[in-house]
Amino acid sequence: MLRTIIKKEIQNNIFSFRFIIAFVLLVVIVPVTILILTDDYVRRMDEYSQRQNSVEQYLKNYAHFNRIGTILVPSQPPLPFQMLIRGLNPDDFILENVFGEFNKDSLPVMFPLVDLTFIVTILLSLIALVFSYDSICGEKEDGTLKLMLANPLSRAKLILGKIVGGMLTLFIPFFISLIIALLIIHLNPRVSWSGANWGTFGFILLGAILYVGFFYSFGVFISARHNSSSASIMTLLFAWVLMVLVIPNLSPYIASFLVPTPSQIKVGREVDRLTSEERDELGRKLSKERQQELQKLYPVLIERLSEADTKERIAKDPEYRKAYEALSKETQAAWDEANRIQSEKANTIRQDLQRREEAQTRLSIIISAISPLADFLYLSRDLSSTGIQNLIHFDRISRIWGQAFNDYERQKLAALQKQNPTEDWWNTPVDMSDRPRFIYYEEALASKIKSSLPVFAVLIIYSLIFFAFAYFSFIRYDVR
């Protein structure tokens, strides 16, 4: 009996007007978007290799250690998955935070890019609602619901059959459009996907199925709570607007209300003040103290001499020279002490800010997890290395490379100094072809999946909850 219901649902839907429209919409939009994004990926790959080449050219003639930090900057190459999903790029953060780049692309701020996540989250969820909003109350209005239940058919089987049948119908246009998209991607000779990419794609697809499943169950649930389909679609659209368009957008603001962080600018100014003005004050105070102590030991230092006279005296008087050296050593120690104390203070403030920002980000993610759109977004972005996880990972491997490069710099400089001690090796072109190179690699698929398991769990639980709600609402439904 269950199979008959499923077959009936599918046949009912396939010949309907909404199926045709959904089909046309998906089959047109998904391939067009993927086509454009693939083209854009190829172009960015070309630009990336051009940039690498120009860096190599530069390094051949002008590589010098003093300013190498602004030339050799870790950069992320275009990832093959960026043909489907665009998210955050670590390069943008470096441009803003390290270089303070004046030029900035303004268009993406106004209208964010269309990518697969966008299509799935907005289009597919709406399509799911459009297919399911009258699954129960529409049949009641048509009079076919009571006819169906006049048969020896349990309500549980009916509702299960409806949901499964409806979702299968939905997947037909979605999978067809995805297959076309995959064909477009792989027919491009410049593109090749590794096994990890296919694995990622599989898991994101699983997430999309869960996401659609949630919305379909939700639609059936609301349908089983209303007697007229027009009331049902109103409630569904109200809930959809809140879940998809409002709650995710509000979540960071709510989190900033609950876990306020001091503004970065304020902390920046405070850190600046601590490490310059306050440090200068402290340094002067400490060095004065030490000077006074030394003056007790070496009474000669109490005399104040001009610079020229001091030099004369140092040359002539070994006692004075000893005293003077002790003075400069102590002064240096005082300033070092001042630097140390102040930078500790600054670090505490900076770390405190970072901790609070992380707490706020975590809270925003938790709050937004109410919305299945946010859940799917995090899932797809983290699996495709275009999310926050990747930023953290990129930061980590950049630091590791940075350390390696610093070691290389030290060793190389020491070797060069030994060869030629008089040359200013900081500002001389050096052959750096033996340097450690920054190679970006994505996180292992296994660890990405592990970190996205909680989100998968949330989606599964959500779908199950609303399936249960739909079942319980339908049990008590008046089918006459």
Residues 142-201 that bind other proteins (CB under 8 A): none
Taking the complex as a whole, the smallest distance from the CB of residue 442 to other proteins amounts, in Å, to 19
Retrieve residue 224's tokens.
């089983």
Using rule CB under 8 A, residue 412 touches other proteins: no
Q: Which of 15, 105, 151, 316 binds other proteins (CB under 8 A)?
A: 105
Using CB under 8 A, which residues numbered 84 to 103 contact other proteins?
88, 91, 95-96, 99-103
Question: Binding of other proteins at residue 2 (CB under 8 A)?
Answer: no
- Of residues 370-389, which lie at the interface with other proteins (CB under 8 A)? 374, 377, 388
Choose the stretch contacting other proteins; rule: CB under 8 A; options: 209-217, 230-238, 340-348, 452-460.
Answer: 230-238
Complex with other proteins: residue 207 or 471, whichever CB lies closer: 207
Site string for other proteins, 344-373 (x = CB under 8 A): ---------xx--xx-xx--xx--x-----
User: Cβ–Cβ contacts within 10 Å for residue 235, how many?
Assistant: 14
If 0-12 CB within 10 Å is exposed, 13-18 middle and 19+ buried, where does residue 129 land? buried
- Note whether 231 binds other proteins by CB under 8 A: yes
Cβ contact 103:191 at 8 Å: no
At CA 72, angle to CA 41 and CA 416, rounded to 5? 150
Q: Which of 289, 367, 381 is nearest to 327 (CA)?
A: 289
Structure tokens at 286: 């400490």
Long-range contacts at 220-223 (CB < 8 A, ≥ 24 apart): 220/132, 220/135, 220/136, 220/159, 220/162, 220/163, 220/166, 220/470, 220/474, 221/466, 221/467, 221/469, 221/470, 221/473, 222/133, 223/132, 223/133, 223/134, 223/135, 223/136, 223/137, 223/138
Contacts to other proteins from residues 107-136, by CB under 8 A: 107-114, 118, 122-123, 126, 130, 134
- In 3D, which of 18, 299, 245, 221 has the Cα closest to residue 121? 245
Kindly tell me which residue out of 237, 349, 370, 413 binds other proteins, with binding defined by CB under 8 A. 237
Cα dihedral sign, 330-335-341-344: negative
If the CB atoms of residues 129 and 159 are measured against other proteins, the closer one turns out to be: 129
Residue number with CB closer to other proteins (8 or 350): 350
Options 13, 200, 261, 384; binder of other proteins; rule CB under 8 A: 261
Q: Lay out the site mask for other proteins across 50-89 (x = CB under 8 A, - = otherwise).
A: xx--xx--x---x-x--x--xx-x-x------------x-
Q: Which is nearer to other proteins, 18 or 285 (CB)?
A: 18
